[in-house]
Amino acid sequence: MNYYSLNNPNHKVSFKEAVIAGIAPDRGLYYPEQIPTLSPEFIANLEQYSREEVAFQVMAPFVGESIPEAELRQIIEETLCFDFPCVAVHDSIFSLELYHGPTLAFKDVGARFMSRCLGYFNRNSEEKVTVLVATSGDTGGAVASGFLGVKGVNVVILYPSGKVSDIQERQLTTLGQNIHALEVDGVFDDCQDMVKTAFLDTDLKGSGLTSANSINVARWLPQMLYYFFAWQQLKKHHKEIIVSCPSGNFGNICAGLLAKKMGLPIAHFVAATNVNDTVPEFLQTGKYIPKPSKPTISNAMDVGNPSNFVRIQAMYDHSLEAILNDFSSYSYTDEQTRAVMQTLYSQTGYIAEPHGAVGYLGLQETLKNHPYAIGLFLETAHPVKFLEEVENTLSIELPLPEAIAQLLPLEKVKTRIATYAQLKSFLLNR
């Protein structure tokens, strides 16, 4: 399997080269040259296979010859060492809980898969790799955990000052070892722009930079697996399935659409956003206009120019009509988010954090036109990741999981920067 730059179809690389580079030299995102189709027999009998076997069959065509079968199976086994339950909320609505991994967020899968791929590629090299990542919330913690202690790899995480929760910040600033946190005076889009600029900076060519954002194919592609695991659990209901994904940088839902293209029979996808509504507006008007991001209580989705949307456009040959056949998008305010968190809790006892609540809102909207479908919303983070907001909104006290409690006494270690020049200096003088 080769990957090409979405800015230049003639620039092609292997899976290994795409993972190590992160982004193409022309700043384009890498995209698979073809989308493999899974056999109808495999899809029809999905529930009979183990999670690990499903993951191998889905991922192997994308990895190609870059990783031998035995090593890829080992990487998958280490990646999927926690559960992905579909929890009944009410009627025909389920929550796909993606927060049962080590950092309590859906990004654990991509971060663990990528870290192990990079570890394999770097196993015989004396040269160090620097993983550069921007985070609006959960990516940083998942990447920090996934790469902690990986030989030959340094991790540099940029996050917007005052725009992540205390627990999210602790997950990236308290680990030490090969993990370095940079607190940026700005918003997530500023962090993301700095990362992209660093990749094109000729002065940093010898620094071994790669990205662990969902622009990296090894972070993006494994997110397909959530949808296969959900199908394994919900197929028995013999109804069409509508999936609503809270969306910020659009990597997760892009992976879901890719799973559909491979043959997974999800009826329709919903990208639910907060007031950062660039994509919902595009689907209404046909005009894609990036905007400055606005702060919300669902901060991991505070993205005004989602990097992965170009992959969705490529998947559908830039046809708005084709996109709309598979995919809807709606935006919601903080007030709507808090209100539905309260309604869910009072009526069902289910505790949703802000991102999952936005996903639930998008699902409600879409099910109006699909009254007999199974509805699935993705709960992308443990409620404790947004402790203050959840406790205040629901007037409850959440018990702290051990993984979080052990971070509280630790000192936050971070470096404050405001400009790309400061990031460049940090990278050159590590």
- Over residues 57-75, the pLDDT tens digits come to 999 999 999 999 999 999 9
Residue 212 CA, distance from chain mean position: 10
Is 390 within the bounds of a domain? yes
Q: Angle, to 10 degrees, between the axis of helix 188-200 and the axis of helix 420-428?
A: 50
Do 103 and 382 touch, CB atoms closer than 8 A? no
Task: Indicate the pTM of the whole model.
Answer: 0.92
Is 77 within the bounds of a domain? no
Is 215 within the bounds of a domain? no
Quickly list H helices, 64-127: 69-79, 108-121
Is 122 within the bounds of a domain? no
Is 366 within the bounds of a domain? yes
270 bridge partner residues: 244, 328
Structural domain tally of the chain? 1
**Which amino acid is it at 264?**
L
Is 97 within the bounds of a domain? yes
CATH value at residue 234: 3.40.50.1100
Is 277 within the bounds of a domain? yes
| Among 12, 16, 107, 239, the one annotated catalytic | 107
The pLDDT assigned to 242 comes to 98
Do 399 and 393 touch, CB atoms closer than 8 A? no
Is 158 within the bounds of a domain? no
* 107 is annotated as an active-site residue: yes
Do 214 and 240 touch, CB atoms closer than 8 A? no
Alpha carbons 312 and 399: distance in angstroms, whole number: 39
Its domain, for residue 335, covers 82-104+220-394
Q: Which residues of the chain have pLDDT under 70?
A: none
The pLDDT assigned to 196 comes to 87
The pLDDT assigned to 128 comes to 84
Span 287-310, pLDDT tens digits: 999 999 999 999 889 999 999 999
Do 418 and 184 touch, CB atoms closer than 8 A? yes
